[in-house]
Structures are given as structure tokens and as C-alpha cells.
């Protein structure tokens, strides 16, 4: 049976849970589910910045997600895959909207909020900015967060309205250049962690460091791009499913821009934790069996162009995403 294609909007509208598939212990989503089981069983109780409380373990085994699967014939290009967790619905439109916002270098939460993506509203509120000593900022001005560090690392931050064109170091452009010109380089790295600027940020980066690696599998004429993500603080219920999808999409975008095949996303965690008010919801999620990860189609004809700016939501098509229904979890701010 052919699975119908779905736009990003369609992928988030469908709410009917699929029939439970047979248990497949090799499904990559079980890495995530088993880590949650470990945290619930063995994690220590720790207070946290938000006052909610967590169960936490430090430096669990890496999670590894394939970003492609073999094509129909040995000579076919691999088929891109998006590791979008299926045991609950992931808000894909928000994942992509936030990622493109990062890439743009924007530091105001207002454009996301206006688009119906409210994930940064709490950290950009007047109350929160006052609480963290940034009350002089306009509402929504988050400071030099992720996108600023990706595109303008080292530039002097003024406010969210300032034009930073040509200022600082453009790490993302440097990653693309190295992948195209020196793919064996061991310094293809992008960091959001800038200690000198942390005090200016509404929230220091949780996912903070990515290294890219090009391999050339035997018999392949084209390189395969993998990404190693280091995340210092990992909210297993709400954040990690989002982060997996986001860095998978980022790797797909960069692979397209550099004419490489998508390889593997490797997720390394520091403090991996479950918020105490997420335990009940996660126990429900743990009863569910994963379904197949969807395919990803990029609808652009500029493969290998090196262009990562100006991409749009409608240029991504997710095919065959059949998750279980959403599970409500509160975001701790």
C-alpha cells in the first residue's frame, strides 16, 4: 500500500492513533523509551532552576538515529528519513519553524509567536526577563541565543532589532564551506555555547554543540553526512523529541546544500532528566509501540548550491507519519 504524502500542516492535523504494530525491538525509538525507563527507575531526585523537580541521570549512552534508508535498488540514492518520534505526536511545524528561525539569526520570540509557535513565549515574557535581570529588554528579546551564536558568534549584542549583517563569525556558513571544500576536516563544528555572552541570554543553550562528519561508504560515489549533537540539559518529555527532530532536519538541510547523503544523527546527553510533573504522561507513552519513522522530501532544485538561508516550510514534505495521539505535558520555565 502506498502511504499518502502529507504537508507539515497535514502531519499535525491528523489525530487518529494507528493500530498498534507488532513489537520490533530494533526500532530506533526504543532507545529513547528505554532511556526514560532507566531514568524513572534509577534517576536521582534533583531540584532544578524551574522549581519543578526532576529525576536525573548523567551522561547516558548515546542515541543514534538513521537519517536515510536504502533505496529500491543498489544503485538508487538512499531515501531520506526523519526520526520524528511516533509514540506521541511531535509538533513538527514548531520544530521546523524554530529551526528556520535559528538559521535566520533572529533573537526575538515575536515572529515565532505570531506564527502560532509559542515555545519561547515564557522565556521572552516581561515577568521572566525581569526575573533573570534583563528587564531593560523589550518583550520577546531573548538576547544572543542560538541563532545569534550560529550566525554572528563574537559580535557585540545590542538588541533584537539591530542589523548584524557582516558582524561576528558565521559558523553555519563555515560548516557548509568546509563540507564542500575540505570534507575530511576534523573541525567542522558549530557551537551555541559562548561563555562571555551567557549573562545576556534569557536562557543559556541546552543543545549547544554540533560536529559534522563526512564518510564515504564502500561502493558509494557520494559522501554521507552525520551530525554529533551534545546537549547539556535534556528534558526527556518535551525537549528531547523536539531536539532530535530539529538536528535531524538541520542535517538534512546541510546535506542538501552540500550534495551529500544524510547519514546518522548521534545524540550525546549530559543531564538527562524527567520533570516530576511529566512522569504520569511518560508512563502512558511507555505503553505505546513505535510506528515507522516517516520519509522526508525536500522540494528544492538547488542541491549542492551551499544555500541554507531563506528556506520555507512548504519546501519540506513529510511522508507516512503515523504517530500515536498527543500527550499533554507542561513546559517548566
Q: Which amino acids are annotated catalytic?
A: 206
- Residue 118 CA: distances (Å) to CA of 92, 164, 327: 13, 25, 17
How many CB atoms lie under 10 A from the CB of residue 316?
22
If DSSP codes are grouped into helix, strand and coil, which group holds residue 324?
coil
Contacts of 300 by beta carbon, 8 Å cutoff, 6+ apart: 256, 311, 315
- Residue 101 CA: distances (Å) to CA of 10, 113, 120: 21, 11, 12
DSSP string, 28-73: THHHHHHHHHHHHHHPEEE--TTSS-EEEEESPPPEEEESEE--SS
Q: Determine contact, residues 286/37, Cβ cutoff 8 Å.
A: yes
Q: Determine contact, residues 243/202, Cβ cutoff 8 Å.
A: no
Amino acid at each position: 500500500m502506498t502511504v499518502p504524502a502529507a504537508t507539515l500542516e497535514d502531519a499535525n492535523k491528523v489525530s487518529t492513533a494507528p493500530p498498534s504494530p507488532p513489537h520490533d525491538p530494533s526500532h530506533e525509538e526504543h532507545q529513547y523509551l528505554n532511556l526514560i525507563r532507566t531514568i524513572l527507575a534509577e534517576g536521582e531526585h534533583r531540584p532544578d532552576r524551574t522549581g519543578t523537580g526532576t529525576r536525573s541521570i548523567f551522561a547516558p549512552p548515546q542515541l543514534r538515529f538513521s537519517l536515510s534508508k536504502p533505496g529500491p535498488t543498489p544503485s538508487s540514492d538512499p531515501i531520506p528519513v526523519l526520526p520524528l518520534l511516533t509514540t506521541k505526536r511531535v509538533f513538527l511545524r514548531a520544530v521546523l519553524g524554530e529551526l528556520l528561525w535559528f538559521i535566520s539569526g533572529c533573537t526575538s520570540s515575536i515572529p515565532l509567536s505570531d506564527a502560532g509557535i509559542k515555545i519561547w513565549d515564557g522565556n521572552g515574557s516581561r515577568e521572566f526577563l525581569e526575573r533573570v535581570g534583563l528587564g531593560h529588554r523589550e518583550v520577546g528579546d531573548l538576547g544572543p541565543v542560538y541563532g545569534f551564536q550560529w550566525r554572528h558568534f563574537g559580535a557585540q549584542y545590542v538588541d533584537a532589532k539591530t542589523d548584524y549583517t557582516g558582524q561576528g563569525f558565521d559558523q553555519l556558513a563555515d560548516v557548509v564551506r568546509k563540507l564542500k571544500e575540505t570534507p575530511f576536516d576534523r573541525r567542522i563544528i558549530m557551537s551555541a555555547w559562548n561563555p562571555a555572552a551567557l549573562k545576556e541570554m534569557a536562557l543559556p543553550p541546552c543543545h549547544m554543540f554540533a560536529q559534522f562528519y563526512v564518510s564515504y561508504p564502500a561502493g558509494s560515489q557520494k559522501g554521507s553526512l552525520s551530525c554529533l549533537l551534545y546537549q547539556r540539559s535534556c528534558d526527556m518529555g518535551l525537549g528531547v523529541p523536539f531536539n532530535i527532530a530539529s538536528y535531524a532536519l538541520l542535517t538534512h538541510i546541510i546535506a542538501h546544500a552540500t550534495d551529500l547523503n544524510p547519514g546518522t544523527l548521534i545524540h550525546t546527553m549530559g543531564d538527562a532528566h524527567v520533570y516530576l510533573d511529566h512522569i504520569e504522561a511518560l508512563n502512558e507513552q511507555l505503553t505505546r509501540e513505535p510506528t515507522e519513522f516517516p520519509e522526508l522530501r525536500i522540494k528544492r532544485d538547488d542541491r549542492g548550491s551551499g544555500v541554507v538561508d531563506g528556506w520555507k516550510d512548504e519546501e519540506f514534505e513529510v511522508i507516512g507519519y503515523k504517530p500515536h495521539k498527543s500527550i499533554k505535558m507542561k513546559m517548566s520555565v
